[in-house]
């Protein structure tokens, strides 16, 4: 028995010394490099409420990240030097022409008066992190520019140096002289020493809405009611979906009027700079090229958490709501008075990158 116990004790002692029972330690790679993780992101600032923390957006701010690779663990601060390189936006195509008579729409460098950098020319990647942040503060001038809604402005940044071993500057293709950072065909290994950071925004009322309501159709000549169109599903979530698109800092365009959803039935909605106790009065107008509208009374309002859908029967989710009451003349010459309730569903914003395409000189 003593012999058996001695063998077990020896086995336990040996197993405790076996390297497999100790925490593995891996060395860092031979080189540490800094780079921009994404070369052509599209950053959308969400000025209204969101499911995630968007407090930076509401302060007109965002960050551009610079990363470091080649480390298992970062135990020290690193620096990366950068500069604004507006030439990277030269010949950068935003949209192809719609027809032979149209011109290309081009990206533009974000004007200097539209932003301020939180750090001038150097960013720190702090110990304990693999990313350093370049803070950007947008000015009011950005939001007053109609192009800012489209995402046509780009903040072009280029890394110029680092306290790490190197910047990931790519490897040019054989025989290519003066390679363009933006052209994949010029490179065997694509450079990651630059980013074309496109930025745009959506305002507080932008989003997808579930619409219910009715339209009373009247003959203007006789004053007789022709019919009443009612559109309402049994459940809010099954109501028709309409879009409210940002057209300016405090304006949206709805893609419907009553039961009509087409290019000639669009409604412009303007809202004030602040609301009183979770409610805002709305101003309605016609979109150029669309059917004229006329607001009725003061019934056009936005209400914070004014309706609900989703959640549970005992704890339904509160949603913002838009109430609309207006008239327009349809193609048959009848007056349509619309009574609509639009319940907010979501903002429709997804992660975006754009494809880099250059116009030949």
pLDDT of residue 190 exceeding 60, the answer is yes
Convert the pLDDT of each residue in 32-82 to its tens digit. 999 999 999 999 999 998 888 999 999 999 999 999 999 999 999 999 999
Q: Is 257 helix (H, G, I), strand (E, B) or coil?
A: strand
Q: Which residues pair with 134 in a beta bridge?
A: 64
* The predicted structure's pLDDT at residue 276: 65
The residue-averaged pLDDT of 241-259 equals 94
Q: Is 19 helix (H, G, I), strand (E, B) or coil?
A: helix
Residues with Cβ within 8 Å of 214's Cβ and at least 6 positions away in sequence, in order, are 228, 229, 230, 231, 232, 338, 339
- From CA 131, how far away is CA 137, in angstroms rounded? 19
If one compares 282 and 312, the residue with the highest pLDDT of the two is: 282
If one compares 25 and 1, the residue with the highest pLDDT of the two is: 25
- From CA 192, how far away is CA 145, in angstroms rounded? 30
- From CA 241, how far away is CA 256, in angstroms rounded? 10
* The predicted structure's pLDDT at residue 23: 56
* The predicted structure's pLDDT at residue 107: 98
Taking the model in full, what pTM does it have? 0.88
- Ranges of H-type helices in 283-322: none
Convert the pLDDT of each residue in 210-249 to its tens digit. 999 999 999 988 999 999 999 999 988 899 999 999 999 9
* The predicted structure's pLDDT at residue 241: 94
- Catalogue all structural domains in the chain, each as residue range(s) with its CATH number: 33-202 (2.60.40.1740), 207-346 (2.40.128.420)
Strands 301-311 and 283-286: unpaired
Convert the pLDDT of each residue in 269-302 to its tens digit. 999 976 666 889 999 998 988 999 999 877 899 9
* The predicted structure's pLDDT at residue 27: 57
* The predicted structure's pLDDT at residue 160: 98
> Of the candidates 309, 312, 296, which has an alpha carbon nearest to the alpha carbon of residue 343?
309
- From CA 323, how far away is CA 341, in angstroms rounded? 5
- From CA 34, how far away is CA 159, in angstroms rounded? 8
**C-alpha pair distances (Å), 265 with each of 105, 215, 251, 298:** 27, 14, 17, 21
Of 23-27, 104-108, 247-251, 338-342, which range is least confident?
A: 23-27
Rounded CA Rg of the chain = 29
pLDDT of residue 84 exceeding 60, the answer is yes
pLDDT of residue 3 exceeding 90, the answer is no
The residue-averaged pLDDT of 16-21 equals 50
* The predicted structure's pLDDT at residue 158: 99
Question: How many CA atoms does the CB half-sphere of 218 hold within 13 Å?
Answer: 12
The residue-averaged pLDDT of 88-116 equals 91
pLDDT of residue 88 exceeding 70, the answer is yes
- Ranges of H-type helices in the chain: 2-17, 55-58, 140-143, 147-150
């Amino acid at each position: 028995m003593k012999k058996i116990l001695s063998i077990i004790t020896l086995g336990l002692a040996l197993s405790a010394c076996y390297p497999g029972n100790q925490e593995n330690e891996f060395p860092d790679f031979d080189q540490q490099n800094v780079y921009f993780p994404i070369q052509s992101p599209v950053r959308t600032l969400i000025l209204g409420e969101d499911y995630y923390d968007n407090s930076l957006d509401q302060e007109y701010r965002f960050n551009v990240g610079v990363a470091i690779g080649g480390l298992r663990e970062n135990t020290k601060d690193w620096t990366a030097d950068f500069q604004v390189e507006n030439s990277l936006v030269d010949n950068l195509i935003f949209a192809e022409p719609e027809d032979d008579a149209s011109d290309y729409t081009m990206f533009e460098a974000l004007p200097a008066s539209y932003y301020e950098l939180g750090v001038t020319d150097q960013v720190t990647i702090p110990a304990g992190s693999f990313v350093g942040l370049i803070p950007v503060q947008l000015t009011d001038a950005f939001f007053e520019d109609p192009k800012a809604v489209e995402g046509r402005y780009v903040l072009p940044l280029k890394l110029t140096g680092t306290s790490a071993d190197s910047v990931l500057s790519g490897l040019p293709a054989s025989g290519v002289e003066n390679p363009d950072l933006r052209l994949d065909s010029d490179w065997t290994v694509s450079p990651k020493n630059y980013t074309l950071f496109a930025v745009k925004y959506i305002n507080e009322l932008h989003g997808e809405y579930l619409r219910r309501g009715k339209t009373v159709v009247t003959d203007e000549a006789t004053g007789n009611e022709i019919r009443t169109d009612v559109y309402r599903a049994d459940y809010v979530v099954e109501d028709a979906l309409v879009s409210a698109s940002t057209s300016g800092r405090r304006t949206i365009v709805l893609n419907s009027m009553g039961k009509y959803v087409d290019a000639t039935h669009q409604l412009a909605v303007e809202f004030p700079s602040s609301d009183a106790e979770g409610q805002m009065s709305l101003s309605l107008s016609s979109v150029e090229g669309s059917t004229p509208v006329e607001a009725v009374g003061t019934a056009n309002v936005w209400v914070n958490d004014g309706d609900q859908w989703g959640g549970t029967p005992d704890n339904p989710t509160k949603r913002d709501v838009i109430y609309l009451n207006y008239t327009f003349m349809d193609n048959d010459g009848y007056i349509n008075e619309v009574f609509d309730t639009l319940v907010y569903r979501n903002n429709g914003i997804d992660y975006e990158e754009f494809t880099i395409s250059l116009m030949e000189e």
